[in-house]
Structure 1
């Protein structure tokens, strides 16, 4: 307990120092003000991500999709927060989002003594354009939070694209599944590790579930065991 408190105090002091040095703007609503915005979020927007994880019920559940837990519906301000991290270079959001995502990971892996967190891979072109991999950064923060809480968790970037895929925006559920079918593969260096502990897939948003289903298929094909998935938000959300 003492170590956990010390770690949380350290984070709070660091966030406060940054807030004093840099102008803080909430990624969700744009509110500014020293002391009002902590780690990129005002208290109101942070509250939208504070509830318990909810099991997502996809409209047409793709074959092989493991249970998916989400923290919030994909609507404002959560949608703006996710876009800010992914497209607007808000690197300060990876840590607070990842710490919250850890709750969804724990819900997706009940009773597991140790897990791999496997981020959904970004296309190379997207990573180059953004200058970062937001999902992987968020997964690292989630794993760190889980270790603070006494769990064994590490990030394993096991997946890669083995062919080009079209932009998913505007595609139907069936078209998304077809677009992604066979698109992912496990990196050879990760195959042995996958067999050592179960895996929880991590992404920022789930819409049709096609990306997570394809990730799970690729992991199973090389002997891995995807027991669940965790996301920040879902377009189909039946929680509070």
Structure 2
């Protein structure tokens, strides 16, 4: 977006980040997908546990995430973080366990896929870190022993994932992440999170980096997942 478009956006009264019409952060219709219950996403690559997710990455949600990540609508971290908390809680809760055993006894480390340093500088904030902070606060309020752990970092530059095929995304991210030296995950249950799963390449690379450091993710969660495209006949 241009400087003048950004300036106009700043000066105009706040409008719904999804539809751009209602004079609120999110109108009820655009907020509804983020308030849905979580469900397991399609099978993830590399043996990763299938992520629990709240919404399909389509329609207004694409605009909402873009507004948050690229256009300074940082207040959206709250509804997005609430949605991620729903997905994390579902990933941690055994669906067939009796109520007394639904709260995990081990402390939980929420580890997120890190943004590139250049993207953080350009955006002026770290979008996923902000969303995770909201999610962790919500889960702690529900008495879940959850901590946000910045365990991963980028080893070098990677290309923008937008427009890449599944094979290209995997190759682009191969070896791109590593665990930070000061990270201690022993005795924790690890939940690996991302905002959106498209092909799963980012989550798979994050899981690889964790395993290389002797840490095994036991669950994954995302806000949204890109719907599978039906092949044309």
**TM-score calculated relative to the size of structure 2:** 0.84
1:120 aligns with 2:118: no
SS at match of 1:117: strand
1:169 aligns with 2:162: yes
Structure 1 CA distance for aligned equivalents of residues 133 and 225 of structure 2: 21
SS at match of 2:215: coil
Partner of 1:32: 22
1:87 aligns with 2:66: no
What whole-Å deviation, never above 9, does each CA across 1:99-131 have from its counterpart, x for those lacking one? 221010011122433311112100010000001
What whole-Å deviation, never above 9, does each CA across 1:132-173 have from its counterpart, x for those lacking one? 000010001000000111111111011001122111112111
1:53 aligns with 2:47: no
Partner of 1:9: none
- 1:78: how far off? 0.8
Partner of 2:203: 212
SS at match of 2:111: strand
Count of aligned positions: 208
Partner of 1:62: 45
- 1:67: how far off? 2.0
- Contact 2:136-2:148 within 8 A present in 1 as well: yes
- Computed over aligned residues only, the root mean square deviation of the Cα atoms, in angstroms, reads 1.7
- Contact 1:51-1:71 within 8 A present in 2 as well: yes
Structure 2 CA distance for aligned equivalents of residues 179 and 97 of structure 1: 27
- Contact 2:34-2:79 within 8 A present in 1 as well: no
Structure 1 CA distance for aligned equivalents of residues 129 and 168 of structure 2: 26
- Contact 1:67-1:227 within 8 A present in 2 as well: no
1:98 aligns with 2:81: yes
Structure 2 CA distance for aligned equivalents of residues 99 and 233 of structure 1: 13
Say if 1:189 and 1:198 are closer, same or farther in 2 by CA, change over 3 A: same
1:76 aligns with 2:67: no
What whole-Å deviation, never above 9, does each CA across 1:70-123 have from its counterpart, x for those lacking one? 111111111111111010111101122102210100111224333111121000
Structure 1: runs of 5+ lacking an equivalent: 1-21
1:189 aligns with 2:174: no
SS at match of 1:189: coil
Partner of 1:140: 133
**TM-score calculated relative to the size of structure 1:** 0.82
Partner of 2:225: 234
SS at match of 1:179: helix
Structure 2 CA distance for aligned equivalents of residues 31 and 148 of structure 1: 33
